[in-house]
Amino acid sequence: MLNTNPTNTAQFSPSLTLPAGSRECAGRNTMDTLKLLGEQLKPQRRVVHTGDTIYQAGERFGNLYILNSGFFKIVNLSADGREQVVGLKFRGDWLGFDGIAGGRYACDAVAMDTGEIWVVSYEALLATCAVQPELLQLLHAAMSREIAHDRDSLMSVCTLPADARVADFLRYWAQTLAERGMRGDEITLRMTRAEIGNYLGMTLESVSRALSRLARDNVIGFATKGRRDVQIPDVGALSAFVQRCLAPAPTMLQ
């Protein structure tokens, strides 16, 4: 992989520069957006716990879901039994878009932590949008962001070596939390190495080795007890690590 490497002169983006498209729609932040959605839609609120499934592949589509707290994984299941984590959802994300086209959800949405989701009937949402055009903008922005991010994911697995993929994964996680008003410098991975590996297209052993390497290079740190909490003192260091992985050769001397 990483076969396309045109004159790579390591001009990586310095530290916290957010990539284009990652900021909230119309300059609005996540908290304000959630407040607006809560007021406009008066959604049914539902508390979920680790392992709860909000919808499953094949189930009849009817609702969209807005994640107010906690976090979810989206799992695709193929006819022949392959299982693939295809997305992670954080505070402010919407769930269930995949069901609109086919009338049935195409994936499973599984809670990875305790949290609260808001249930919104798609029909009711459309009705509300008809009298409140700003809502439609929010809906479309959420779908658009999902499409753009899915493409970034594909780019990651297609062009980055294993170590860089793990680093980029942590960078995205930390940035996402920060953008949404949560601490991004100390994140609790509520996924096993196997789940992370599945999401990134590598084995759990490779994930473990990559994390060890990142810790050895002081790009990340591990919390006192257990290896589930990851400290990220500087997000820029993760980006720099990715670039280092892409660097063609040491080119020592000359």
Partner DNA sequence: CGTATGATTGATGCAGATCAAACACAGTGG
Partner DNA sequence: CCACTGTGTTTGATCTGCATCAATCATACG
User: For residues 153-172, which are near its own copies according to CB under 8 A?
Assistant: 153-155, 157-159
The window from 116-124, 157-165, 170-178, 236-244 that contacts DNA (CB under 7 A) reads: 157-165
Quote the least distance from Cβ 228 to its own copies, whole Å. 21
The residues, ordered by sequence, that sit 6+ positions from 78 with a Cβ below 8 Å of its Cβ are 84
Tokens of 209: 């080795």
CB of 253 to its own copies, least distance (A): 24
193 binds DNA (CB under 7 A): yes
Is 49 one of the binding residues for DNA (CB under 7 A)? no
Provide CB contacts within 8 A for 13, sequence distance 6+.
19, 239
Which of DNA, its own copies, none does residue 141 bind to, with CB < 5 to 8 Å depending on kind? its own copies
Which member of 44, 100, 183, 223 binds its own copies (CB under 8 A)?
Answer: 100
- From the list its own copies, DNA, none, pick the one residue 124 interacts with, judged by a Cβ distance below 5 to 8 Å according to partner type: none
With CB under 8 A as the rule, give the number of residues binding its own copies.
Answer: 71
Pair 121, 62: CB distance under 8 Å:
yes
Strands of the 63-69 sheet, one edge to the other: 44-48, 115-121, 63-69, 94-95
Among 48, 211, 214, 219, binds DNA (CB under 7 A): 211
Q: From its own copies, DNA, none, which one binds at residue 106 (CB under 5 to 8 Å depending on kind)? A: its own copies
Given 21, 181, 233, 248, the residue binding its own copies (CB under 8 A): 21
- Measured from the CB of residue 242, what is the shortest distance to DNA in angstroms? 12
Task: Report the residue from 19, 181, 228, 233 that binds DNA according to the rule CB under 7 A.
Answer: 228
7 makes contact with its own copies (CB under 8 A): yes
